[in-house]
Amino acid sequence: MIRLNIHEAKTHLSKYLGKLKQGETIVLCKRNVPIAEIRPIAQPPQGKRPIGLYKGKFTVPASFFEPLPEWLLDAFGGRQSK
C-alpha cells in the first residue's frame, strides 16, 4: 500500500498509475490524513466464453415461441389497446 499526499499524486500521477496496474493500492492523503483509497479495477477475463454453461439447468418453455398478445404488441408499438 502506497500513501500519497495530494500534491505528490498530482505531480507524479503517471508513475503511480503503473504501480496501480501492478496491483498496488494507493491511499490518498490530505495533510497526511487519509481521505481516499485508489485500487486497480479487476480486468475482465480474456478469451472466448465457453458455450453451454447452463445446459441441462434451463429449458425454454413452449409458450416462449407462441405469438405475443395483441395488447403487448400495441404497447411495444406505442399504441394503447382498445
**Digitized pLDDT (tens) for each residue of the chain, 82 residues in all:** 999 999 999 999 999 999 998 989 999 999 999 999 999 988 888 888 888 888 888 888 999 999 999 989 888 887 775 6
Amino acid at 62: A
Question: What does the alpha-carbon distance between residue 6 and residue 3 come to, in Å, rounded to a whole number?
Answer: 10
In this prediction, residue 78 carries a pLDDT of: 76
Domains, the chain: 2-38 (3.40.1620)
Cα dihedral across residues 59, 62, 65, 68: positive or negative = negative
26 - beta bridge partners? Answer: 2, 38
Question: Which residues have CB under 8 Å from 80's CB, separation 6+?
Answer: 74
Question: What does the alpha-carbon distance between residue 58 and residue 44 come to, in Å, rounded to a whole number?
Answer: 25
In this prediction, residue 10 carries a pLDDT of: 92
In this prediction, residue 38 carries a pLDDT of: 94
In this prediction, residue 81 carries a pLDDT of: 59
